[in-house]
Amino acid sequence: LPNPYAFHDTLHGIDSQAIRKTGLCVLPGKVLGKPGLLLSTQIRDGGPAPKTMPFKPALAQIISNQKKIGDLFLPVLMKGDLREFDQQMPYIHLHRLQLARLERLSSFERDDIQQTITRKLLMLYRQADSLVC
């Protein structure tokens, strides 16, 4: 889970126009009796069953698809993105940062944000199969 006291991991001054919903959630594999993390379409009350994949292949597919169209996948969490599933199991709704819409920031600041998110995502990717929730 994200550390709410890690203020150095918090982005400030991000224009809300640069944030987009992804419709994706990160779930503990325990929900479906599987190890590690899962990536799922958003869970909706009364809606169809969400599509779920192991985190690593799902993330690799998303990044590859975005790269093909010349875009980046930079997932971020916003306040309120940590939710509960069945009142006991946490899940995280993902938003996506669009760097091109950060017009008030310098290219140096945008590059730094991109590198920071990419580094954290790579760390999570490497640990995804062994994380226990």
Tens digits of residue pLDDT in 75-112: 987 765 555 545 566 778 889 999 999 999 999 999 99
* CB distance 26 to 92 below 8 Å: yes
In 1-133, where do the E strands start and end? 19-28, 37-41, 52-54, 75-76, 82-85, 89-97
More confident residue, 26 or 132: 26
- Mean of all residue pLDDT scores within the chain: 82
- Look-up: residue for tokens 């975005």? 66
Give first-to-last CA distance, the chain, whole Å: 9
- Look-up: residue for tokens 């990044």? 63
pTM of the model: 0.78
Which range, of 36-50, 83-97, 119-133, averages the lowest pLDDT?
Answer: 83-97
